[in-house]
Structure 1
């Protein structure tokens, strides 16, 4: 652009040629006809200016024809544009620093403190639309961890008190059994009727101990997880779309054929998040315990309920184990080489029960199928 004023070609040369023809024909000229020409000089004035010019010869006389050079104006415009872009970049970088980098720096140590168990760590509130929701979520997470810790401590304290109380209560019948047993051993009771009475007393005390043991077992197997559901309405298509978006890429990478049967969309009455959690548990089980060839989601409708079935090929579970698979910490004979804790189906059953639904499993040849029964809205 700087060199444009030195370029010999251009519209000013066309106008200079027309000007030369006009002077040659009429001996005069009218500059208003030539917008790009600013002046015409001859004789002693031919070298009196530093403006851009061209030299033309007309009838043996040299003329200096000056013209407008637009290169400088273009340079100014381009420089202004680059300056505006530079200022915009500075403003953008300052905005990123103020609303993203600085707030993130203030939150940098929060995950470490939470991991160390420091639940009283201060989490600064952020009004930024980038981090405001994030800090709000971290605060909810901290409060949830703290509530769970308090609930766990309360549960452990109650169980400990219960076990101490039952242990103390067991001592009374146990002492009576030991005394009666020693009396029978030493032959203190010669009368058959008295011996029968002592044996009945021992049996009665044993029943008391059995009752106490039953209470201990019940306390030990009491729900160790808290489940909360918030009933609402959701389209079946929304739930299935989320599941497909989550697992299609993963299963394609593994080479597993994934099929979703056609279904008629409907509105389900459930907790959408919890229903999604149940389907995720079933999909994870199908991936872990299947042979990796095919996983299918099927649908049916019955008695005002929507049935959603997840099936996988390569089932090695025995029929006799079906009644136990929904118990906590139960793992089938096909889980020896697969990591897990035996809680997936247990969680599904508890959640479906709280949502007013049900879940059941069946073996169809070499396929293992689990069906969720969800109420229609």
Structure 2
């Protein structure tokens, strides 16, 4: 920011120096040229006087139309004269040759005005850039740092600049989402802690009963087969109770992953594909991967367009990571009241017998060696599409891997 201020100051100084230097040069040149010109013309007039006796006796008769700086020629007298003049002597007579300095400075002033306007324009542009871009950006310089530190509660100051207004609005939405997710996570952690405390207390009872039954059986405290059967049934009943608690834990854990909110609304397929193409066209070009999008009819769909874009991005990223990098194609089909969007990549590396498990949480196929991931991508995609009333499935055709998204038409 200070460097840009110094730049404006340097530009101002440069403009001033340029104007001063330019004017000094032009004025010096103009004065030198003027001095030479009127002297030359005065000398020519004097030569006419010397060569023409009529002019010597009557110098006023000389035609001065050829001399733009000579005003009047006369025999010298003591009369006052308002013009500059030179005195020449010929045959004991003195001649006064009056001249005027040409007003050659008008052009100089025009050039000066032009230079000043251009300089002010440059300075104005620099000040505009400073006020509308540099200064707002400087004010935002600590924004990402504060977000990284976890300072999510303070709203970001709105920026009216057309350059950063939308950016600030988006960053504030990001802050709100991060804050919301943080609160949800804290709430979830509290619920988990409460659940664990409750389950630990509830599991103690069946565990204590099992412990008593096993000790009694070990020490042969039951003298009849009926009592032993009752003890075994008691153990089985308590084991069942513990299993139910464990199943409840698993159910709640799975519900945490299923808590993927969607906003159902109507949107056009073209808008989603435009966003996907805009993001991946250049990226895949840099990877030297052929990216094809087949022709399709722009239909009105129902669901969450942002979530659908998220699903499509996940499928394309998988195609990049697990394909051979040659081609990725997005194809379209219709089925009853649904639109099918397929992402096909060449170079399939997944075994067919693993297809039934790829949508399970934390499942990673045999083709994921040395490739980073957590096994949740397709699981999340599956549940997002289910929440939107659609679906997703995967198939293998020859050496191509095809992931197909099913979206409801509006």
Measured after TM superposition, the shift of residue 262 of structure 1 is 2.0
- Aligned residue for 1:178, secondary structure, equals helix
Which residue in the other structure is 1:147 paired with?
A: 180
| Displacement after TM superposition at 1:38 (Å) | 8.6
User: For residues 173 and 306 of structure 1, what CA distance do their matches in structure 2 show?
Assistant: 52
> Aligned equivalents of 1:244 and 1:84: distance in 2?
46
Could you tell me how far 1:111 is from its partner in structure 2?
1.7
8 A Cα contact 1:113 1:121, kept in partner: no
- Write the deviation string for residues 187-211 of structure 1: whole angstroms up to 9, x where unpaired: 2223222322222222111111111
Mapped contact 2:69–2:102 kept (Cα < 8 A): no
Structure 1 spans left out of the alignment, 5+ residues: 9-26, 52-63
SS at match of 2:368: coil
| CA-CA distance at 1:134 after TM superposition | 3.1
**Residue 230 (str. 1) matches residue 266 (str. 2):** no
After superposition, residues 356-375 of structure 1 pair within 5 angstroms as 356-375=389-408
Equivalent position to 2:286, from 231, 244, 253: 253
Aligned counterpart in structure 2 of residue 82 of structure 1, from 111, 115, 130: 115
SS in 1 for 2:395: strand
Relative to structure 1, is the Cα distance of residues 226 and 104 closer, same or farther in structure 2, using a 3 angstrom cutoff?
Answer: farther
- Candidates 240, 253, 259, aligned match of 1:220: 253
Q: How does 1:290-329 map to 2 (within 5 A)?
A: 290-329=323-362
Contact between 1:114 and 1:121, CA under 8 Å: does it hold in 2? no
* Change beyond 3 A, Cα 1:288–1:74: same
Q: Which residue of 1 aligns with 2:218?
A: 185
Moved more, 166-175 or 183-192: 183-192
Unpaired segments ≥5 residues, structure 2? 1-24, 37-60, 86-96
8 Å Cα contact 2:263-2:304 kept in structure 1? yes
- Report the alpha carbon displacement of residue 226 of structure 1 after superposing the two structures with TM: 4.5
CA contact (8 A) 1:37 1:65 kept: no
In the other structure, the counterpart of 1:21 is none
Tell me: CA distance 1:127–1:201, structure 2 relative to 1, closer, same or farther (3 Å): same
Q: Distance in 2 between matches of 1:267 and 1:145?
A: 31
Query: For each residue in 1:20-40, what CA deviation from the matched residue of structure 2 results, as whole angstroms up to 9, or x when unmatched?
Result: xxxxxxx99998xx9x96977
Shift of 1:303: 0.4
Please state how far the C-alpha of 1:302 moved relative to its aligned partner: 0.9
Are the structure 2 counterparts of residues 121 and 187 from structure 1 closer, same or farther at C-alpha, using a change threshold of 3 Å?
same
CA distance in 1, matches of 2:193, 2:167: 39
Residues in 2 aligned to 1:263 and 1:86: alpha-carbon distance in whole angstroms:
54
Deviates most, 94-103 or 202-211: 94-103
Q: Is the 8 A contact 2:64 2:70 kept in 1?
A: no
CA distance in 1, matches of 2:285, 2:164: 34
Instruction: Indicate yes or no: 2:142 matched with 1:134.
Output: no
User: Is the Cα–Cα contact under 8 Å of residues 64 and 71 in structure 2 kept in the other structure?
Assistant: no
Partner of 2:308: 275
Q: CA deviation at 1:373?
A: 0.8
SS in 2 for 1:356: coil
Aligned residues: 347
Measured after TM superposition, the shift of residue 103 of structure 1 is 2.6
Matches of 1:260 and 1:222, distance apart in 2: 36
Report the counterpart of residue 117 of structure 1 in structure 2. 150
TM-score (norm: length of structure 2): 0.74
SS state of the match for residue 307, structure 1?
Answer: strand
Compute the RMSD of aligned alpha carbons.
3.4
Is the Cα–Cα contact under 8 Å of residues 290 and 314 in structure 1 kept in the other structure? Answer: yes
**2:236 is the alignment partner of 1:203:** yes
CA distance in 2, matches of 1:271, 1:44: 103
Alpha-carbon distance in structure 2 between the residues aligned to 1:216 and 1:227: 19
Q: Does 1:93 align with 2:135?
A: no
C-alpha separation in 2, matches of 1:267 and 1:44: 102
- The superposition leaves residues 216-240 of structure 1 with CA deviations (integer Å, 9 ceiling, x where unpaired) of 2222333247433223333323322
* Aligned mates of 2:84, 2:337 — CA distance in 1: 95
How big is each residue's C-alpha offset from its partner over 1:320-354, in whole Å with a ceiling of 9 and x where there is no partner? Answer: 22122122222111001211222221222122122
Instruction: Give the alignment's TM-score, normalised by structure 1.
Output: 0.80
